[in-house]
Amino acid sequence: MVNVACFVKKHMVLFSFIFIFIVLAFVSPKNAYASFFTIEWKSISALAGLSIITTGMQKSRIFHKVAKAWAKRLKSERSLALFLVIFSGLISTILTNDVALFITVPFTLSLGSFIENDLSKLIIFEAMSANVFSTLTPIGNPQNMFLWHKMDISFFRFITVAFPVFSIMAAILVIFTCVLFSRKEIVLREDADEDIVVDKKLFLFSSVSLALYIIMLQFKLNYAAFVIFLVLYIIFFKDIVKNAYWTLPLIFVAISLDFHTLASLKPVKDLLSAMISNSPRRVFAVSSISSQLISNVPATVLILNFTHRFKDILYGVNVGGNGTVISSLANIIAIDLSNDNSLWMKFHKYSLPFFLVSFSIICAIYKFI
């Protein structure tokens, strides 16, 4: 019983969405049953395959070694913050925002073990950065992957579509980081020279796998790609498959079930239909604000039931990834990994102002982007 309780607690987000579906199934059994036929299995399989490959890159520890080498060269909290915020963001463009935080947050915690400075605020900014930078690529986060398949455009075309909103948020993030982190000197402890051993074979295998995987996704070979790389990792790196973040695709399945069922309820249909209309700016605004209340992946699934303005949804749910702690699964992952309960409230001190500034600026110039 203790083990079951620990398992449920560890995967609280997944079980919360499962509980919501159970409640909705009692309210509307017919719609709940129909939601099983609306799951985007192509997106789920793509996400599952990426979970395996990115776990391999994480476990190779190459990113830890690179980040540590650079961090030791940086002299102030501001320079360290800028480096790790940008580092976290760049990783998220290829490994998804959720998985990027599985690399940067543990690294930041280990960094804190040989640096005297308090790095808790930096974890919040790494989560914000992962949300911002993941906007840029179709594999940067689950909602992008979902929308990419809906939009039916190339990998690089997606980047050009997402770039205007990404560039605005990235600029604001850099300004926030420069203003909110001081020039206080970094103080290293005596054990800072401890070396990190890199599994070069695993890193090379995972890097090549990632490149090939993206190519296969580009040619819409999602199922084949998942099966091929699952088998390859089982043969050569079985432990990676065991340790992959399998709850991420499962959460996406649960979210899909929840919000397809919810969107089928008449009161919800009437409310969202009235709110969204066919205005690009309104779709953007509703997507952003909905993300604050139900998280950006569920917001994507829900709003797609009422409009096919994919670009406006894309902009809205990515801007909406920052704000409340539940606006993105990445936020919950970062705080959960930190083992610091005080961050649940502290998170909003920085993320909510960032969201409000980003949302206001983009709303004001929306017709120009």
CA dist 95 and 149 (Å) reads 18
What contacts 73, CB < 8 A, 6 or more positions away? none
Ramachandran angles phi, psi of 219, nearest 5° = -90, 15
Strand partners, 115: 188
Residue 82, number of CB atoms within 10 A of its CB: 18
CA-only gyration radius of the chain, Å? 20
Contact (Cβ atoms closer than 8 angstroms) between residue 298 and residue 143? no
Using DSSP's 3-state secondary structure scheme, residue 76 falls into: strand
pLDDT at residue number 194? 64
The pLDDT profile of the chain, 369 residues, written as one tens digit per residue, is 557 777 777 777 788 889 999 999 999 999 899 989 888 888 889 888 988 998 898 888 887 777 677 767 777 889 989 988 999 999 999 878 987 888 888 778 877 766 767 788 999 999 999 999 999 999 899 899 889 988 889 999 999 999 999 999 999 999 999 999 988 887 766 655 567 788 999 999 999 998 899 889 878 899 999 999 999 999 999 999 998 878 878 888 888 898 788 878 888 778 877 787 778 999 999 999 999 988 898 889 888 888 889 999 999 999 999 999 889 988 988 887 787 878 888 999 999 999 999 999 999 999 888
CA dist 207 and 227 (Å) reads 18
CA dist 367 and 61 (Å) reads 44
Using DSSP's 3-state secondary structure scheme, residue 188 falls into: strand
Between the alpha carbon of residue 354 and those of residues 140, 193, 216, 358, 368, the distances in Å are 20, 36, 36, 6, 21
Q: How far does Cα 136 stand from its chain's mean position?
A: 12
What angle do the packed helices 62-71 and 41-60 form, to 10 degrees?
A: 60
Q: How far does Cα 25 stand from its chain's mean position?
A: 28
CA dist 309 and 261 (Å) reads 21
CA dist 229 and 213 (Å) reads 8
Assigned token pair, 188: 């290293």
Between the alpha carbon of residue 295 and those of residues 112, 172, 288, 332, the distances in Å are 30, 22, 9, 10
pLDDT at residue number 50? 85
